[in-house]
Amino acid sequence: MMSNYIMPNLQIEKIESYLNKEGKRLDGRKAEEYREIVVEDGVSVNSASAVRVKFGKTEVLCGVHLALATPYPDSKDEGTFMTSAELHPMASQQFDIGRPGIEAVELARVIDRGIRESGFIDFKGLCIREGEKVWQVFVDIVAINDDGNLLDVAGLAAIIALGRARMPVYNEAEDKVDEGFSDEGIPLKKDVLSFSMTFHKVGNTIVADVNQEEELISKFRLTIAVGDNNGEPRITAMQKGKAGTISVDDMETILKLAESKWKEMFGKIKEHVFS
């Protein structure tokens, strides 16, 4: 449940007119410019991996956990996967305690689908005994501070946490998981890695990596996940949010931005994920 946050009209006008006139945002960034991305490891030693990712002041923690599970009847030789997100009230005055609201549900589902459908996790590699026992992979996202663009920050945190996760040790004799972790990573198909970029329309301008104020006043958002297809960018997921509509021109602007941003950022993202 999101409480209403009141944005003063003066501030809305200031943000929009500065973008229209100067082509810049109040924090000095250009429309397509990202904030500094910071990645840290070792948030919890008890987890297969747990990372902290920051875009400017927006901060997210993300952990990966593996547990034993029974496979689904229609995919007997494949592990299972689940993404959850907690938009905790510590992160923003807009969030409340309780059952995940629609913001958390949407965020978790968009990230879950993006990872699942890209084929990044090798689900067959998570099978222990066909039809009986597989690994279940949990990705848990907790927002620490929301200054906009949680979707991209959490999405990046999820793939980095997966990329750095260590396999637990399965004790076959006792049919349980032993303490500690192996040196092996979880089975991933590294060549299909993709990451998501969210663009918002603020005033008349398409901007990347919004801060909280820009996010609140934007007309629509469009998230595009882009992966690598032999050196060329390829779309792997999309999600439009908010009630505004996207014109043909805006769509073309976003597609071009997504292509150029992907070329600029993909190498660095890959380093973070597989370091």
**Any idea what DSSP says for residue 192?**
G
- Total residues contacting other proteins by CB under 8 A comes to 33
Query: 82 or 177, CB closer to other proteins?
Result: 82
In angstroms, give the least distance from the CB of 145 to other proteins.
Answer: 24
150 binds other proteins (CB under 8 A): no
153 binds other proteins (CB under 8 A): no
Query: 18 or 266, CB closer to other proteins?
Result: 266
DSSP 122-169: -GGGGEEETTTEEEEEEEEEEEEE-SS-HHHHHHHHHHHHHHH-EEEE
Amino acid at 225: A
* Per-position b or e across 108-142, b if 16+ CB within 10 A of its CB: bebbbebbeebbbbbbeebbbeeeebbbbbbbbbb
State which H helix or E strand residue 229 sits in: strand 221-229
Question: Residue 201's closest CA among 234, 240, 233, 153?
Answer: 240
Query: 105 or 216, CB closer to other proteins?
Result: 105
Q: Look up residue 7 and give its two tokens.
A: 């944005």
Query: 107 or 137, CB closer to other proteins?
Result: 107
Query: 85 or 269, CB closer to other proteins?
Result: 85
102 binds other proteins (CB under 8 A): yes
Is residue 166 within 8 A of residue 184, CB to CB? The reply is: yes
Query: 51 or 110, CB closer to other proteins?
Result: 110
| Candidate ranges 11-19, 121-129, 245-253, 265-273; the one touching other proteins (CB under 8 A) | 245-253
Q: Which residue has the tokens 């997921």?
A: 237
Q: How many CB atoms lie within 10 A of CB 177?
A: 15
User: In the stretch 57-96, what mask flags binding to other proteins with x, by CB under 8 A?
Assistant: ----------------------------------------
Which residues inside 184-243 make contact with other proteins, applying CB under 8 A? 222, 227, 229, 232-243
117 binds other proteins (CB under 8 A): yes
In angstroms, give the least distance from the CB of 72 to other proteins.
Answer: 11
Which residues sit at the interface with other proteins, rule CB under 8 A?
Answer: 102, 105-106, 108-109, 113-114, 117-118, 222, 227, 229, 232-248, 251, 255, 258-259
